[in-house]
A and B are shown apart, each in its own frame.
Chain A
Amino acid sequence: MELKRDEELLAEHLAGKVGVFDTLVARYMDGLYGFFKRFVGNATAADDLVQETLLQVHLAAGSFDPSRSFKPWLYTIAANKGRDYMRARGRRPMQSLDSAGGDSDGPSPAAQLEGDATTATEQLDSREQTELVRRMIAQMPEHLRLILILGYYQKLPYAEIAEILGIPVGTVKSRLHSAVNHFSRLWLAHTNASTSE
């Protein structure tokens, strides 16, 4: 059976059909939770923000323009909720990173290629590595963290990210590149430091 499009489900929900909103919730629950968990770096806050976002979608369903795509609209609401949350708590990241390499002015990723990143990476327990990556992402500047999550983890196309953030497609591309380079600097600085120890 062919799955109904998000826009159709929202229209049916607006028309009063029972249960269709649950389908939308199930469809986006994983993605939204992952988005907030990475963006605000805190599970409890992510839980609240998912609820706030989907409630907002429900309350604003009547204002949704059916000629547009649902997903960018959903993530526009989510990004605004996330930014409001960060603003309310002074934009301080929830997780801190004690290791070196947080400085944007450090050596560039390409300049650090001489270090053997793979060896150090292998030394890390996989759970430790996951936790380290999460903390590094939480430490990134907000605008770079946001675009890395949307572009890499949410796998949204450039055009949809441009719509969500209200910036040109070219800027999305260059900013996503900057975000990956920024993370690389953090990661390679850490792995090189681990190798030299």
Chain B
Amino acid sequence: MSASQEHDFDPRLLDLHLGHLATAEQAELRRLIADDPALAAQDEALTAVFRALASAQEERVPDGLTARVTARVRSAGPPPRVVRPTDDLTETVEGTRERVIRLGNLRDIVAVAALIVLAIGVGVPGLMHMRERNLRMGCSWNLAQLGHGVQQYATTFNASLPFVGWGGQNSWQPSNDPRLVTIPNRRHIYLLLQQAYVVDPRLFVCPSQGGVPMPIDAIERHNDFIEGRNVSYAYQNMAGLRPSANDNPRLPILADENPLFDDGLPLFDARRLSWGEPAQANSRAHGGAGQNLLTLDGSVIWVKTPFSGIDGDNIWTLIDVTEYTGREGPASPTDSHLLK
């Protein structure tokens, strides 16, 4: 549970007033309320809240609405019949479709052959450019949807961004130290999927990277993405000073993969990286040309340099940190450090 939830109403009281407790549970809770003045005060306030909600219980149906519905349904005619797989018609339909598909295949082959000739002869570079542009747009769409999920999450949890918790014994980097418990940074963003703020796992995979979406039937059974390729995007490092939805709206919180780290492990020494060389400094997701970036206000922008944080902050590194052990986090509310 996030810290922001701690002061909300006791969940047992909410269940009591919503009518979701069994008789025995109700009796037990009533006894606790009688013994605990704080709980009794919450119960009293909640009773007033539900009394208010109940006052808007009644909504009078406009006159004639039933007649209007009936008239529209009648004018629409009988409900259309749906052909089910067991119907006799199926064989005929499927047989026809098969023939159409065969014909379609021939057309496809001719069309593809013509396209290949055209592409080789005229515009391979142009097509590649168009393809990359489409992939970037797909990636940008993904980040916008994830941003929408983050905002919904923050609305629910008092402006807190997705966060599973963090303590002194945690590391976002795999470690051999038995005293450390690894919490990969991607686990925080997994909450969006686990709690259905984002329902499509494909949105976590950048179309340029060819990852594998998390299987839908596995989402509820896990607390993290099963493997690294289930998520392409780097999320704000939640080990240090955590941003809230009310912080600087231009703060980057999600972006394409960080080129310095692979599942939390450093790939390069940041000190030796040529930050002026785009192919080295930018995410590998789009061939080093740049990266899509989601900011706290939900905007997605395409940037060609990692120095795209607040006041030109490098989004791949922490300020004043040169060696990473997996326990470092941002020390300032404007320091972005995006990693998986």
Q: Do A and B form a real pair?
A: yes
Residues of A participating in the B interface, judged by any CB pair closer than 8 Å: 13-14, 16, 21-22, 25-26, 29-30, 33-34, 37-38, 43, 47, 50-51, 54-55, 58-63, 104-105, 108-113, 117-118, 121, 126, 129-130, 133-134, 137, 141, 143-144, 151-153, 155, 158, 165-168, 171, 174-178, 180-184, 187-188, 191
User: What separation, in Å, do the CA atoms of A34 and B52 have in the docked complex?
Assistant: 16
* A61→B79 contact, CB < 8 A: yes
Q: Which residues of B lie under 8 Å from residue A25 when comparing CB positions?
A: 66, 69-70, 73
User: What separation, in Å, do the CA atoms of A38 and B58 have in the docked complex?
Assistant: 10
Segment with Cβ contacts to A, from B7-15, B201-209, B302-310: B7-15
* B18→A176 contact, CB < 8 A: yes
Which residues of B (11-34) have their CB < 8 Å from a CB of A? 11, 14, 17-20
* B8→A108 contact, CB < 8 A: yes
Query: A16-B78, A29-B61, A144-B155 known; A109 and B69 CB under 8 Å?
Result: no
* B8→A21 contact, CB < 8 A: no
Question: Does B57 sit within 8 A of A, measured CB to CB?
Answer: yes
Q: Which residues of A lie under 8 Å from residue B46 when comparing CB positions?
A: 109, 184
Query: A37-B59, A38-B59 known; A59 and B79 CB under 8 Å?
Result: yes
Q: Which residues of B lie under 8 Å from residue A144 when comparing CB positions?
A: 155-156
Can you list 12 A-B contacts (CB < 8 A)? A25-B69, A54-B69, A104-B155, A109-B9, A129-B55, A137-B56, A141-B155, A143-B152, A182-B155, A183-B53, A187-B52, A188-B45
Question: Does B49 sit within 8 A of A, measured CB to CB?
Answer: yes
- Closest chain-B Cβ to A151's Cβ sits at a distance in Å of 7
* A109→B8 contact, CB < 8 A: yes
How many residues belonging to B are interface residues under a CB distance threshold of 8 Å?
50
User: What separation, in Å, do the CA atoms of A22 and B71 have in the docked complex?
Assistant: 10
Q: Which residues of B lie under 8 Å from residue A171 when comparing CB positions?
A: 195-196
Q: Which residues of A lie under 8 Å from residue B130 when comparing CB positions?
A: none
Question: Does B157 sit within 8 A of A, measured CB to CB?
Answer: yes
User: What separation, in Å, do the CA atoms of A108 and B158 have in the docked complex?
Assistant: 9
Q: Mark B74-88, 1 if CB is under 8 A from A, else 0.
A: 001011111000000
- Closest chain-B Cβ to A173's Cβ sits at a distance in Å of 8
* B56→A133 contact, CB < 8 A: yes
* B49→A47 contact, CB < 8 A: no
* A105→B158 contact, CB < 8 A: yes
User: What separation, in Å, do the CA atoms of A50 and B45 have in the docked complex?
Assistant: 35
Q: Which of B42, B61, B157 contacts A178 (CB 8 A)?
A: B157
The interface centre, meaning the residue of B11, B48, B76, B79 with most chain A CB atoms within 10 A of its CB, is B79
Q: Which residues of A lie under 8 Å from residue B76 when comparing CB positions?
A: 55, 58-59
* A51→B72 contact, CB < 8 A: yes
Residues of B participating in the A interface, judged by any CB pair closer than 8 Å: 7-9, 11, 14, 17-20, 41-42, 44-46, 48-49, 51-53, 55-59, 61-62, 65-66, 68-70, 72-73, 76, 78-82, 152, 155-159, 195-196, 199, 220, 246
Majority-rule SS of A interface residues: helix
* B73→A129 contact, CB < 8 A: no
User: What separation, in Å, do the CA atoms of A158 and B79 have in the docked complex?
Assistant: 31
- Closest chain-B Cβ to A134's Cβ sits at a distance in Å of 5
Q: Which residues of B lie under 8 Å from residue A105 when comparing CB positions?
A: 158-159, 246
**With contacts A58-B79, A130-B56, A143-B156 known, what are 7 further pairs, Cβ within 8 A?**
A110-B7, A111-B7, A113-B42, A113-B45, A121-B52, A180-B17, A182-B155
User: What separation, in Å, do the CA atoms of A141 and B197 have in the docked complex?
Assistant: 13
* A33→B65 contact, CB < 8 A: yes
* A175→B66 contact, CB < 8 A: no
Pairs of residues from A and B, 5 with the lowest C-beta to C-beta distance, nearest first: A62-B82, A108-B7, A167-B196, A34-B59, A133-B56
* B61→A33 contact, CB < 8 A: yes
* B41→A113 contact, CB < 8 A: yes
Q: Which residues of B lie under 8 Å from residue A141 when comparing CB positions?
A: 152, 155-156
User: What separation, in Å, do the CA atoms of A188 and B50 have in the docked complex?
Assistant: 11
* A14→B79 contact, CB < 8 A: yes
User: What separation, in Å, do the CA atoms of A144 and B153 have in the docked complex?
Assistant: 11
* B73→A58 contact, CB < 8 A: yes
User: What separation, in Å, do the CA atoms of A87 and B197 have in the docked complex?
Assistant: 17
User: What separation, in Å, do the CA atoms of A51 and B62 have in the docked complex?
Assistant: 12
User: What separation, in Å, do the CA atoms of A135 and B66 have in the docked complex?
Assistant: 26
